[in-house]
Amino acid sequence: RLAFATRSKSVATMAASQEFTGNLKREVEKLFDASLRITVPDGTSVETEVAASLPGKPGDYQCNNAMGLWSVIKGKGTQFRGPPAVGQAISKNLPASEMVETCSVAGPGFVNLVLSSKWMAKSIEKMLIDGIDTWAPTLPVKRAVVDFSSPNIAKEMHVGHLRSTIIGDTLARMLEYSKVEILRRNHVGDWGTQFGMLLEYLFEKFPDTESVTETAIGDLQTFYKKSKTKFDEDPDFKEKAQKAVVRLQGGDPIYRKAWAKICEISRTEFAKVYQRLKVELEEKGESFYNPYIANVIGELDSKGLIEESEGARVIFLEGFNIPLMVVKSDGGFKYASTDLTALWYRLNEEKAEWIVYVTDVGQQQHFNMFFKAARKAGWLPDSDKTYPRVDHVGFGLVLGDDGKRFRTRSSDVVRLVDLLDEAKTRSKTALIERGKDKEWTPEELDQTAEAVGYGAVKYADLKNNRLTNYTFNFDQMLSDKGNTAVYLLYAHARICSIIRKSGKDIDKLKKTEKLALDHPEERALGLHLLRFAETVEEACSNLLPNVLCHYLYDLSERYTSFYSIHQVIGSPEEASRLLLCEATAVVMRKCFHLLGITPVYKI
């Protein structure tokens, strides 16, 4: 909210920065800001209201301040005679700018701004030379933590972890593009009570734990299941297992060593999935925070937050009907104790200003509770959008075709690796059906199958609002029609092939030729390209990857509208249109990159 207390005429001559800084909406806002500074009477406080115009409406952006402003000033001796007159003044006071083609008033005072096609073209030309990173948004934080993937040791990574991995990676990539330093944290569950039985079972099966290798243990999940069965059936074993946890957490070197071994085996398995998905993460599991827990709880205690309840130590929080348990009656720590400690560490040791947690919505209460405890402790501001800021990025379930929780025919949990294998195999088969095995080298075929298959799995997840459940369906996600990665990757490859077929050196064209956006379809495509960075910024601020997917799909639709009407190769406008093709390909590739999808160049 800006209070325009002093009117300065000099603003009228202040042409807003005409060099495109990446955020088109903000550029337009700056212009209207300047205009409102002159138009608004002294002492009136208003917020500049600018929105992109809906398709089919006049203008590219609209300023909607006239009506609101009128209702504030009417009857107070104003020189204006109604909202349209206020709108006229806003329009008239707009600083001269090469960005603007026309500015006019419609209806009850909507101020419509048409951008100059020349300026738009110039801004795109500049991006082609300087690179798309020059369009990157600037966010109000320097360093952030994205806590994602975070599977549990010895338990298989399931589709829920797939969602966390895919969504978290995309958020990290978008924030990184926005110049935020990102600490990608894998908060693996490596310290839970399951270790008691795992360790006891390991000692029984392999008295010489030194020699235990990955292959000896075999499938760690089966190992986990067997130890669990024994735990449930054999009271002797159960007792030993419970003691084992205490010894492990107490730091017994033999138990620690065996524990480390199990973690190592799990880690190798996880790493295979990350490598396939091309996701980078740094593991700082629950155990990492163990040395700090006691101090953190001590701090909370000294602030008077902790109370005794039935032998346990808890924090009572307003608005929740259960307290947050931080120390169990047996002295053990809980999931929340570790999360509070990790938060303390991230704020104080790692100096992160924004911490984002990606898990299923089922954990929402856990996050709300320990966030609230942290606010109570004064670690975080009271308002949730001010920094240092924390966000729980929740997501819904993955469903099968039957509308129930996704399972395969044979097993109860879907193994992530099997899903990825199948996606790849299916896309390879589709490529072979199209005769690509005869055109390409086996490596090319394999790489394309991977890019398309894994891309399809990621995109099918990301394109939905993350909070909704979505149905996992290979046929749908691998279709080359509709809003799928396959369709988008092919669209990109086709653009690349047009550029190749033209036989022109595109890097040379960038330097020597001009882009013109004379036809409506060219202009609409150009405008959409210029909206890329503001879209990324919106996706970052709301932590919604689907916003970017939507943009990407729109982009390819706009490209299709352009390409289906206008000839590129051999037309008098060839050079300009090749530049437009190239700019579209550049923006598409950046979208793919931010979504963690590998682009393909031929199809």
> Which one, of 483, 464, 602, lies nearest residue 554 by Cα?
483
> Which one, of 161, 531, 529, 554, lies nearest residue 359 by Cα?
161
Which residue's CB is nearer to ligand ARG, number 87 or number 189?
A: 189
The Cα 532–Cα 585 span in angstroms is: 13
Task: Tell me whether residue 525 is exposed, middle or buried, using C-beta atoms within 10 angstroms of its C-beta: 0 to 12, 13 to 18, 19 or more.
Answer: buried
> Which one, of 245, 339, 355, lies nearest residue 288 by Cα?
339
Which residue's CB is nearer to ligand ARG, number 161 or number 458?
A: 161
Q: To which residue do tokens 């609230």 refer? A: 372
The Cα 178–Cα 134 span in angstroms is: 10
Q: Provide, for the chain, the percentages of residues in helix, strand and coil under a 3-state DSSP scheme, each rounded to the nearest 5.
A: 55, 10, 35
Please, what is the minimum distance in Å from the beta carbon of residue 332 to ligand ARG? 17
Task: Tell me whether residue 268 is exposed, middle or buried, using C-beta atoms within 10 angstroms of its C-beta: 0 to 12, 13 to 18, 19 or more.
Answer: exposed
The Cα 158–Cα 155 span in angstroms is: 9
Which residue's CB is nearer to ligand ARG, number 152 or number 227?
A: 152
The Cα 597–Cα 586 span in angstroms is: 14
The Cα 551–Cα 588 span in angstroms is: 10
Please, what is the minimum distance in Å from the beta carbon of residue 83 to ligand ARG? 51
Which residue's CB is nearer to ligand ARG, number 23 or number 186?
A: 186
Which residue's CB is nearer to ligand ARG, number 135 or number 270?
A: 270
H or E segment to which residue 348 belongs: helix 335-348
Which residue's CB is nearer to ligand ARG, number 165 or number 546?
A: 165
The tokens describing 466, both together, are 């993350």
Which residue's CB is nearer to ligand ARG, number 126 or number 228?
A: 228
Which residue's CB is nearer to ligand ARG, number 317 or number 583?
A: 317
> Which one, of 529, 505, 520, lies nearest residue 583 by Cα?
529
Please, what is the minimum distance in Å from the beta carbon of residue 26 to ligand ARG? 34
Please, what is the minimum distance in Å from the beta carbon of residue 356 to ligand ARG? 10
The Cα 348–Cα 379 span in angstroms is: 9
The Cα 151–Cα 170 span in angstroms is: 18
Please, what is the minimum distance in Å from the beta carbon of residue 463 to ligand ARG? 24
Please, what is the minimum distance in Å from the beta carbon of residue 583 to ligand ARG? 39
The DSSP line for 261-327 is HHHHHHHHHHHHHHHHHT---EE--GGGGHHHHHHHHHHHHHTT-EEEETTEEEE--TT-SSPEEEE
Please, what is the minimum distance in Å from the beta carbon of residue 152 to ligand ARG? 5
> Across-strand partners of 580?
none
The Cα 382–Cα 590 span in angstroms is: 36
Q: Which residues contact 218 (CB under 8 A, 6 or more apart)?
A: none
The Cα 472–Cα 399 span in angstroms is: 6
Which residue's CB is nearer to ligand ARG, number 122 or number 346?
A: 346
Which residue's CB is nearer to ligand ARG, number 123 or number 152?
A: 152
Please, what is the minimum distance in Å from the beta carbon of residue 377 to ligand ARG? 17
The Cα 357–Cα 359 span in angstroms is: 6
Which residue's CB is nearer to ligand ARG, number 147 or number 582?
A: 147
Please, what is the minimum distance in Å from the beta carbon of residue 154 to ligand ARG? 12
Please, what is the minimum distance in Å from the beta carbon of residue 536 to ligand ARG? 25
Rounded (5°) CA angle 553-115-176: 50
Which residues form the interface with ligand ARG (CB under 6 A)?
Answer: 147, 150-152, 187, 189, 339, 342, 357, 359
Please, what is the minimum distance in Å from the beta carbon of residue 374 to ligand ARG? 13
Which residue's CB is nearer to ligand ARG, number 185 or number 240?
A: 185
Please, what is the minimum distance in Å from the beta carbon of residue 272 to ligand ARG? 18
Which residue's CB is nearer to ligand ARG, number 110 or number 148?
A: 148
Please, what is the minimum distance in Å from the beta carbon of residue 280 to ligand ARG? 17
